[in-house]
Structure 1
Amino acid sequence: MKISRIETIPFAIPYRKPLRFASGEVHAAEHVLVRVHTDEGLVGTAEAPPRPFTYGETQASITAVIDDLFAPQVIGLSPLERETVHSRLNRTVGNPTAKSALDMALWDLIGQSLGISVTELLGGFTDRMRVAHMVGFAPAEEMVAEAERFRDTHGVTTFKVKVGRRPIDLDVAACKALRAALGPDVELYVDGNRGWTAAESLRALRALEDVDLTFAEELCPADDVLGRRWLVARSGIPIFADESTARPGEVTRELLGGSANGISVKTARTGFTYSQRVLFLCEGLGAEVVLGNQIDGQVGTLCSAAFGAAFEATSRRPGELSNFLDMTDDLLAEPLEIVDGTLRVREGAGLGIAIDEDKLAHYRQD
């Protein structure tokens, strides 16, 4: 089986409301559907969500780099030649979500060709993931109402609270309101998206000591080496790295340098192949992980769940797998459903992705 063609389809689906975080905001899921075709008729599918304020990619750049640079280098190879594929892709720096979508589509092809799921290929630990939901910037009462709705409707009991974009006192008040309304049995953690200095981060964490946060994610700028170490040494809760650890080498640097206690693993930026390497590094160094979210649509969420369910370490914590519900529509023929706070991976070969072609035709941008 050989790769015969690679298809990139830009599409845009509006969000129900703007999603805001310290590094930017998005009003629509302007993503790229990536399809890897083979000479035997199998098609591997994945989703690339550009985040220009985080990785510098745009919908147009993802389409261009795959069509113009990556596709000519990998057409003719077998999907099994993943190391050769990555060797050729890595001749071009950056472009993490473009590379990751290609990688996940190859794993989808391999699973289809063998008649087994990608979760089984990767490790097969379980068939479902517990779900955490991201609560974005809004007045405290609106954030509480959203969290209560997800708890009551979907059974979600873990919430990631966005901080770092507005005055610290407002973020602290919102977190305290969430704890007061949701009670002690709900898990809360915060994500600053690099929005605070180290000193501001420590001030905020001390003000939040009575909120019982599980951990805090990426509070400081990624290049503030000394500030991040200073904060981790003084923080009473674990500090997880996210945007600063997009590659395995960065994971090693952050953990051994004392700049983080744990790592957010995101298949949207490291695919399945490099997410494995990040996970295994963390296990070897004794660091915890959380399965993160790139505000993926249902295709990307299905990929994340397939990876998270494959390993015991990624299954321990709820994964960030609910933000597709913030979209007004999606592309899967059979939509994902969160029941009792969990999301099941799809049964069958590969990733189990079936696209509603009418919806794709409606939302595609080309």
Structure 2
Amino acid sequence: MKITAVEAIPFAIPYVKPLRFASGEVHSAEHVLVRVHTADGVTGAAEAPPRPFTYGETQASIVAVIEQLFAPQIVGLTLMQREVVAARLGRTVGNPTAKAAIDMAMWDAFGRTVERRITDLLGGFTDRMRVSHMLGFDEPATMVAEAERMRDRYGITTFKVKVGRQPVSLDVAVVRALRECLGEDVELYVDGNRGWTAAESAQAMHQMSDCGLLFAEELCPADDVLGRRWLVSRLDIPFIADESVVTSADITREILSGSATAVSIKTARTGFTRSQRVHHLAEGLGVEVLIGNQIDGQLGTACSVAFGAAYRLTARRAGELSNFLDMSDDLLTEPLQIVDGELQIRPGPGLGVEIDPDKLTHYRQDR
């Protein structure tokens, strides 16, 4: 299981439509395919989606840090030495998605080597998850139409609604339209991406108090310390920490300080190894968790559902697993399929998915 090489391949696939939210917008999946090769001839793969407006990483920076710093430090180690890898990569500050992709590619290679699914290696709770779909900024009628299409075509009945615009009435109108048109059986929650102040957040949540929302996520910045604690203390639904909890220490700080009451786990940000620690910490603290979306492609989504299905706590809620549907194409030989509102784990070893070499050649950006 000795690691012989680590690849970082930039690729770009356009979105059918841009996804807009408070901290930016995305028109193309300019991601990085990370592959870990071993002396046994096994290759594991994962996807690193850069989010410069959230973590400061770009496609170019992910490729550079992997090729120049990370790969030389881990070639020669084995797939079992995850703690050694984490310690060596941890000497470089930041770069969470680059580190996470290496970790997940190692797990994929390990699963392929021992011929076991990653879900089973992690916990094996179930083989599928309910799907939540993320709705970006648009006019109320357009967002309602997208939600109805996702419900009618894919059976999705849980929706994460991007909010955070000024005036707050814009997003209140969207949420009300969604609830009125979709009915009470559909689950709705909102994500502000830190776009509002604490006062604006409180105003919006008051105006939506009769809309039956499940959660509120990152409505205002975490560094607005007193304002955020004040806001969370006024809410009667869980407040999800996402961008503000990159590390386990961040989670401990936010939960114990009263700045959040739930946690979003994103494997694109914490890989499988650190996501396990986030899960166990959240379970020990008794807080809600859900599987978030880093606007992943299908490979990243396969990672998310593999982790989410492994544990009872993460599998009980719908995971954000559908935004690859907004991409014009993908890299997998067999596309993921959402059926009756669920995404099922692939049966093969590791992640159970394969990269199409022709598509990779077509979309890669380094040749």
Range class of TM-score, shorter chain: over 0.9
- The alpha carbon displacement at 1:228 in A equals 1.1
Q: Which moved more, 1:232-241 or 1:129-138?
A: 232-241
Structure 2 CA distance, aligned partners of 1:165 and 1:12?
Answer: 28
1:97 to partner: Cα distance: 0.1
Show the counterpart of 2:13: 13
- Within 5 A, what are the aligned runs for 1:202-281? 202-281=202-281
Secondary structure of 1:211's match? Answer: coil
Whole-angstrom distance in 1 between the partners of 2:27 and 2:223: 28
Correspondence for 2:301: 301
Question: C-alpha deviations, 1:229-270, integer Å up to 9, x for none?
Answer: 111111122111100001000000000010001000000000
**C-alpha distance in 1 between matches for 2:59 and 2:296:** 14
The TM-score normalised by the length of structure 2 is 0.99
Aligned to 2:119: 119
Instruction: Tell me which residue corresponds to 1:144.
Output: 144
Q: Confirm or deny: 8 A CA contact 1:130 1:343 kept in the other structure.
A: yes
Using the aligned pairs only, state the percent identity: 69
Cα-Cα RMSD: 0.6
For the residue of structure 2 that corresponds to 1:196, the secondary structure is coil
Contact 2:222/2:259 (CA < 8 Å) preserved in 1?
no
Counterpart position of 2:185: 185
Measure the CA separation in 1 of the matches of 2:167 and 2:296: 28
Task: Give the structure 1 partner of residue 40 of structure 2.
Answer: 40
Q: How much does 1:109 deviate?
A: 1.2
What is the match of residue 194 of structure 1?
A: 194
Structure 1 stretches lacking a partner, 5+ long? none
Give structure 1 regions of 4+ aligned residues with deviation exceeding 3 angstroms.
none
Letter in 1 for 2:215: F
Aligned pair count reads 366
Correspondence for 1:89 = 89
Structure 1 contact 45–353 (Cα < 8 Å) conserved: no
**Normalised TM-score (structure 1):** 0.99
Deviations 1:196-218 (A, max 9, x none): 11111000000001111011000
Which residue of structure 1 lines up, in the alignment, with residue 128 of structure 2? 128
Matches of 2:117 and 2:236 in 1, distance apart?
41
Q: Displacement, 1:353?
A: 2.1
Q: Letter of the aligned partner of 1:182 in structure 2?
A: L
Name the stretch that deviates more: 93-102 or 220-229: 220-229
Residue 159 in 1 paired to residue 155 in 2?
Answer: no
Provide the residue aligned with 2:283 in structure 1: 283
Would you say the 8 A contact 2:129–2:315 is kept in 1?
A: yes
Structure 1 equivalent of residue 344 of structure 2: 344
Residue 313 of structure 1 pairs with residue 313 of structure 2: yes
Q: Helix, strand or coil for the counterpart of 1:282?
A: helix
Deviation sequence 1:29-69 (CA, Å, 0-9, x none): 00000000111100010000000000000000000000000
